[in-house]
Amino acid sequence: MLSPARAVYVAVSWMTVAPVPQPRMPMDRSVGAAVMTAIPVVGILLGAGAAGLAAAMSTTDLPDAMIGALVVVALALATRGMHLDGLADTADGLGCYGPPERVAEVMRSGPAGPFAVATVTAVMIVQLIGFGSLIGQHRWYELALAIALGRIVAVIGCRRRLSAAHPTGFGALVAGTQHVSVIVWTVVASAAGFLCGLSPESLDVGAAVQGVVVTAVVVVAGWWFTAHCARRMGGINGDVLGAGIELGVTVAVVGLLV
């Protein structure tokens, strides 16, 4: 059983390009479970880094939309583009007709199809405009929160009711491993959303309620999306979890700007 600190370390080594040595341990389901429990911490680190980068670039003459685009690119580079790749494969899989075997074949086919291109393009455009809007208003906390909230969808996707689509691969390592963590991270995320309305001088009740509602929407959307993917694909795989993360970030940034 990994300690929480060790779980975060392994999660960072798996999910980012951070220059940390790869852990020397057998990669079994107990490790996979610990890593998925720690995924939101990786989201917090990425969100904080993205907010810091955006704040630094905002001191230049770069337009807000350009900074938003650069933040999207930086996040893609920091995560090896794996979530965008998962989004592309999942979009192509959901866009085809047929049984789970056919969906799996399309997802493994390699070249991105029209559904993949359209979905990834739409998500990146929404994110860069959304990030740019938050940056223009100097809402650094909300920017970091949106990025962190997306990672909760990966935890939700690994809940006990959903099995792995294939007996091998990342999905088999992590599917069905999360239970209490789903509840814990939902509560933590709701509290983080409430802090959107908190300032040193006062509490903006409307902003606080909005933050909590956005968190609830991300959780519900993530629950529905992963359940839908599991029905179409016969279970969960790593691509679905990556797609869920990107969609979670997108839903969160839109919700925070409504």
The full set of domain ranges for the chain reads 4-257
Task: Name 203's bridge partners.
Answer: 198
pLDDT bracket for residue 211 (50, 70, 90): very high
- Fill in the amino acid letter for 37: T
The pLDDT of residue 242 is above 90: yes
CA 123 from centre of chain: 12
> Percentage of residues in the chain with pLDDT exceeding 70?
99
Of residues 169 and 50, the one with the higher pLDDT is 50
How much is the pLDDT for 105? 81
How much is the pLDDT for 58? 97
How much is the pLDDT for 4? 87
Q: What is the mean pLDDT of residues 53-74?
A: 97
